């Protein structure tokens, strides 16, 4: 009996550590799933297929007093530099002068850095979630991550619907602490190209894509969680 008690005493810490490690991996899997879905949902917003209608709906052409085709071209050139570089944003506008001011270029460079970091994190989370699914069969945790993201999107969407401007400012204060994000819409080409309405529509579109992605992942994970192990 004494030997058995001693054995239990020795094994208990290892068991607790294993349980803690499993719980941590489960939580990380759920978080990684949510980030991965959101990061993938962001990618369509960087394509002309989605961006051009959003620019038209937010009347960017009227703000810039240019044709929609020119506005689309200016946006495409901006997004190409955001995604593929070099990140100088030093191209000329239709009048031959530099389209963006120095302060706007600084903000766009900060935005590019943030985008690269977030999509890099997305890639890491995708790999980790895939590993969890393949090696640990953590489908229940993946399902929870998708559900948690969907709930978060709905909550943020409701808050944004009633208080988009404060939420927009809070986002910039957190991720652009240097303060170079407030521009005069009368003189800033960046604000005229991407006016306030554009960001409302973009946020809504991201929310819809994110919800669809979360629903698909949740349904797949729910089905896989109930499937027998091979």
Q: How far apart are CA 15 and CA 61, in angstroms?
A: 64
- N-term to C-term CA, the chain: 40
At residue 17, the pLDDT reads 53
At residue 195, the pLDDT reads 93
Identify the bridge partners of residue 98 per DSSP, sorted by sequence position: 92
At residue 14, the pLDDT reads 54
Instruction: List the Cα angle 99/199/179 in 5-degree steps.
Output: 65
Question: What is the reported pTM?
Answer: 0.85
Cβ contact 83:46 at 8 Å: yes
**Phi/psi at 95 (5° precision):** -85, 0
**What parts of the chain have a pLDDT lower than 50?**
1-11, 230
How many C-beta atoms lie closer than 10 Å to residue 52's C-beta?
17
**Phi/psi at 67 (5° precision):** -70, 155
Identify the bridge partners of residue 92 per DSSP, sorted by sequence position: 98
Q: Coil, strand or helix: which one is 180?
A: coil
């Amino acid at each position: 009996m004494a030997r058995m008690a001693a054995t239990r005493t020795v094994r208990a810490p290892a068991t607790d550590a294993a349980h803690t490690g499993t719980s941590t991996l489960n939580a990380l899997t759920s978080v990684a799933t949510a980030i991965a879905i959101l990061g993938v949902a962001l990618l369509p917003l960087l394509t002309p297929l989605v961006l051009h209608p959003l620019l038209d709906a937010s009347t960017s052409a009227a703000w810039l007093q240019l044709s929609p085709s020119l506005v689309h071209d200016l946006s495409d050139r901006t997004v190409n530099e955001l995604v593929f570089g070099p990140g100088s944003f030093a191209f000329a506008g239709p009048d031959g002068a530099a389209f963006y001011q120095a302060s706007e270029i600084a903000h766009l460079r900060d935005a590019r850095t943030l985008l690269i970091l977030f999509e890099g994190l997305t890639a890491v989370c995708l790999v980790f979630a895939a590993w969890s699914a393949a090696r640990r069969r953590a489908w229940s945790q993946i399902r929870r991550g998708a559900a948690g993201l969907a709930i978060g999107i709905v909550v943020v969407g409701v808050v944004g619907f009633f208080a988009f401007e404060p939420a927009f400012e809070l986002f910039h204060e957190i991720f652009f602490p240097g303060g170079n994000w407030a521009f005069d819409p009368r003189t800033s080409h960046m604000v005229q190209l991407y006016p306030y309405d554009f960001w409302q529509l973009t946020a809504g579109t991201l929310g819809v894509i994110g919800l669809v992605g979360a629903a698909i992942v949740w349904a797949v994970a729910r089905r896989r969680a109930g499937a027998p192990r091979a």
